Amino acid sequence: MKTRSRLIGLAAVAVAALAAAGCGADEPAGGGASQTTGPAAVSAPETETYNIAITQFLAHPSLDLITQGFKDGLAEKGVSADYTYDDAQGDQTNTATIAGKYAADGDLDLIMAVATPSAQAVVNQIADRPVLFAGVTDPVEGGLVPSWEASKTNVTGTSDLNPEGYPAKLIQEIMGQENVKTIGYLYSLGEKNSVVQLDLLKAEAEPLGLTVKESGIASASELTAGVQALSEVDAIYVGTDNTVVDGIEQVVSFGQDNQIPVFVADASSVERGAVATRGIDYYELGKRTADMAYEILVNGVAPGDIAPLQVTDTQIIVNPDAAAAYGLTVPEAILAGATEVTTTG
């Protein structure tokens, strides 16, 4: 493990390093203009090899993209790293066990936790090493940091909170306002990030005259019952809920069988049979997290002097073939500004 003073430096050193690197952090939604560009790619001035642990709540395409983007981002900056990787397989108990293993490993220079449950477990157990979270919808609500400002703790990271996604509006635009009265929302009761997105969906839907019917599940074993509870809705929306996204094919199959279009928050689920999303690029989110890791490991910036970053760049991803399976034709006005994909797997 590298010298600890290099990892958690003095505030004055941190501020100077951030200014020199041009590293900025986004403000939360409504807090002003967002900065979404990270530091320019440069080569690490040293040839040290850092020990980095990555804990991921479960393996599914969006989270995998974050991890890959993180590794690629550091490699592009010339950072050499030995990685320890652990998949909690969607089990809250496993997240705590993994975090405990990392807490006991004095050779780790930095821990990155992907998704809210894994990040909560790590933050609860590790206070003496830099901790980065990634793919966390609301780190404040999740108890990871006290605010969207620099935390002055050992924790910072990137958020996939997407207030610019406007899923209810996108559903109306694709299906036609007259065809959408009720949107079903399927989510995991134990994932705080999903509760935050439910609140955002309700807030967007109300002025549009839409009703949101929620269906919460306690575990993946309840996915069938959870989606069947939405048999009377006009469309189904799945946010960045790790458990539901992991089983998105089951949701898609139900939607197609019942001609209820499925819309999602992440692009990878569109390639797995959902109609569309207005979402963020999870690979780029991983690279933004790598920017933070570079500042901490190479430039000696304290994690607590880097404010959490909310990425707000969005893109419309549409699967016209999937739409057809639900009996939909995507309007040309949507296709003109979208990236088209086809169902894979």
Cα–Cα distance for residue pair 312/146, rounded to 1 Å: 21
pLDDT score for 266: 87
Cα–Cα distance for residue pair 7/200, rounded to 1 Å: 36
For 199, residues 6+ apart whose C-beta sits below 8 A from its C-beta are: none
Query: Which residue, among 206, 241, 210, has the nearest Cα to 227 in the 3D structure?
Result: 241
pLDDT score for 305: 98
Cα–Cα distance for residue pair 309/329, rounded to 1 Å: 36
pLDDT score for 16: 37
How is 18-75 classified by DSSP, letter by letter?
A: HHHHT---PPPTTSS------PPP---SS--EEEEEEEESS--HHHHHHHHHHHHHHH
H-assigned helices in 116-166:
116-125
CA distances from 175 to 36, 82, 201, 209 (A): 31, 48, 17, 15
Q: Are strands 110-114 and 155-159 parallel, antiparallel or unpaired?
A: unpaired
Stretches where the chain sits below pLDDT 50 are 3-44
Question: What element of type H or E holds 245?
Answer: helix 242-246
Q: Are strands 315-318 and 276-279 parallel, antiparallel or unpaired?
A: antiparallel
pLDDT score for 163: 75
Percent of the chain with pLDDT over 90: 76
Question: Bridge-partner residues for 187, per DSSP?
Answer: 216
Give tens-digit pLDDT for 73-112: 999 999 999 999 999 999 999 999 999 999 999 999 999 9
pLDDT score for 136: 94
Q: pTM of this prediction? A: 0.77
What angle in degrees, to the nearest 10, is found between the helix axes of 192-205 and 167-175?
Answer: 50
List domains and CATH numbers for the chain: 4-161+281-310 (3.40.50.2300), 167-279+315-340 (3.40.50.2300)
Backbone angles phi, psi at 285, to 5 degrees: -60, -40
Question: What element of type H or E holds 6?
Answer: helix 4-7
CA distances from 121 to 84, 171, 242, 314 (A): 17, 35, 16, 29
Cα–Cα distance for residue pair 256/337, rounded to 1 Å: 25
The DSSP call for residue 304 is G
